[in-house]
Amino acid sequence: MARKIILTTILLLGYVLAFSQSQSEKDKIRELELQRQMDRTRKITVQMDSAVRLSEEGHYQEADIKFRMILKSIRSVPSDLTYHFGVNSFYLGKFRQSVDWLNKYIQLKGTQGQYSEKAMDWLAKGEAELLKENEKEAKRAAEVLSGDYYIDCGPTGKVVCPTCKGSAVVVKKNYFGEVYKTCPSCSKKGYLICDDYNKLLKGKLISE
């Protein structure tokens, strides 16, 4: 009987030791993984600080390269990175990119972030510059289309009316709500023949 008790005790001790060793190994693995994550975060922080410093010193292209390298190496983007990348993009004249990333910062941090107020100021500047770019592009397109060019409308000789998008009506808003009116360009058809389409592009189509 005593021998059985001793054997059982030995077995139990063996199980306890094996479990302890297994748990210890798991703890070590968790500690190593945590250490790796901390090291990686530290490296990213150093790289980001370097990119921000380059941007503040006016080396925008070099900063852009560093920011992009960081973005390629991480899965979760730090909110501060979205702000600094957005500002640097503005200085590079990449206004659409600037607006997109500054919007991301504001979406992440709202009005309580460290850079929220500055982000909104830069966002307003970026949107203003983007508007100027769009106006220039529209002007260039108008200049091209106002020349002696004739747009080929394809085999049907027709295109969807760009004024009403094919609906044959246009919607205007006033103090009483929305008012539906017959499209002045396509005469209730929803499409234009090619000649009329070219006249419309050049501002020469007489509205009915």
Give average pLDDT by consecutive 10-residue segment, the chain, 208 residues: 64 62 68 72 86 95 94 85 95 94 91 92 93 82 65 86 88 70 87 87 73
2/80 Cα distance (integer angstroms): 69
Structure tokens at 31: 């500690």
Instruction: Write down the residue that tokens 């309580």 correspond to.
Output: 112
36/153 Cα distance (integer angstroms): 61
Q: Output DSSP code: residue 29.
A: H
Query: How distant, in Å, are the alpha carbons of 154, 159, 160, 184 from that of 151?
Result: 9, 11, 14, 21
Contacts of 143 (CB under 8 A, 6+ apart): none
Domain ranges of the chain: 2-145, 158-201
Query: How distant, in Å, are the alpha carbons of 20, 34, 119, 190 from that of 65?
Result: 49, 29, 21, 49
Structure tokens at 72: 């390629």
141/66 Cα distance (integer angstroms): 36
Structure tokens at 161: 């009316």
pLDDT at 68: 93
CATH of domain 2-145: 1.25.40.10
Spatial CA neighbour of 88 closest among 49, 61, 116 = 61
202/111 Cα distance (integer angstroms): 46
Phi, psi of 164 (to 5 degrees): -110, 0
154/137 Cα distance (integer angstroms): 25
Tell me the pLDDT tens digit for each residue of 71-126. 888 878 888 999 999 999 999 999 999 999 999 999 988 888 999 999 999 999 99
Q: Is 159 helix (H, G, I), strand (E, B) or coil?
A: strand
